[in-house]
């Protein structure tokens, strides 16, 4: 897997990220989802990009927790072969979500928002 650089836009800022060809579609989709949530937070009255970014992170974290809880409930009582296959898919998706979380964390460590020339410390 070779590394490549891609350009995405988050909160109106163009950012260059490193990824593999295999993970590029997932990373682009994650960036689009994060940007959409930031834009929704801004449209909802959050004037600060930092606050809008935090609100977006909280929304996405809440979605992730809900998905994990549903996955845990589904894994508790798989009664058919279909449930077992679904559980395997949930494990795979959980791995992808963890990878995305790591990528977002790394991005947030280096992202310098407008009006804030310093990296965000998490």
Would 94 be classed as within a structural domain? yes
Would 40 be classed as within a structural domain? yes
Q: Of 17, 19, 57, 20, whose CA–CA distance to 36 is shortest?
A: 57
pLDDT of residue 11 exceeding 80, the answer is yes
pLDDT of residue 63: 92
Would 122 be classed as within a structural domain? no
Would 120 be classed as within a structural domain? no
Would 119 be classed as within a structural domain? no
Would 33 be classed as within a structural domain? yes
Q: pTM to 2 decimals?
A: 0.60
pLDDT of residue 110 exceeding 50, the answer is yes
Grade residue 39 by pLDDT with cuts at 50, 70 and 90: very high
Q: Name the phi and psi angles at 115, rounded to 5.
A: 80, 0
Contact 106, 16 (CB under 8 A): no
Q: How many domains are contained in the chain?
A: 1
pLDDT of residue 122: 46
Grade residue 47 by pLDDT with cuts at 50, 70 and 90: confident
Is the Cα torsion angle 52, 48, 39, 99 positive or negative in sign?
Answer: negative
Would 116 be classed as within a structural domain? no
pLDDT of residue 62: 92
> How far apart are alpha carbons 64 and 95 in whole angstroms?
12
Would 27 be classed as within a structural domain? yes
pLDDT of residue 117: 46
Mean pLDDT (whole number) for 93-102: 85
Domain range for 73 is 3-110
């Amino acid at each position: 897997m070779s590394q490549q650089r891609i350009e995405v836009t988050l909160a109106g800022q163009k950012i260059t990220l490193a990824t593999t060809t295999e993970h590029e579609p997932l990373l682009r989709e994650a960036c689009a989802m994060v940007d959409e949530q930031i834009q929704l937070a801004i449209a909802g009255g959050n004037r600060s990009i930092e606050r809008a970014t935090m609100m977006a992170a909280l929304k996405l974290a809440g979605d992730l927790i809900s998905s994990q809880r549903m996955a845990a409930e589904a894994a508790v009582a798989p009664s058919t072969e279909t449930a077992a296959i679904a559980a395997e898919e949930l494990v795979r998706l959980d791995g992808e979500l963890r990878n995305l979380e790591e990528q977002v964390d790394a991005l947030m460590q280096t992202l310098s928002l407008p009006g804030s020339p310093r990296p965000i410390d998490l």
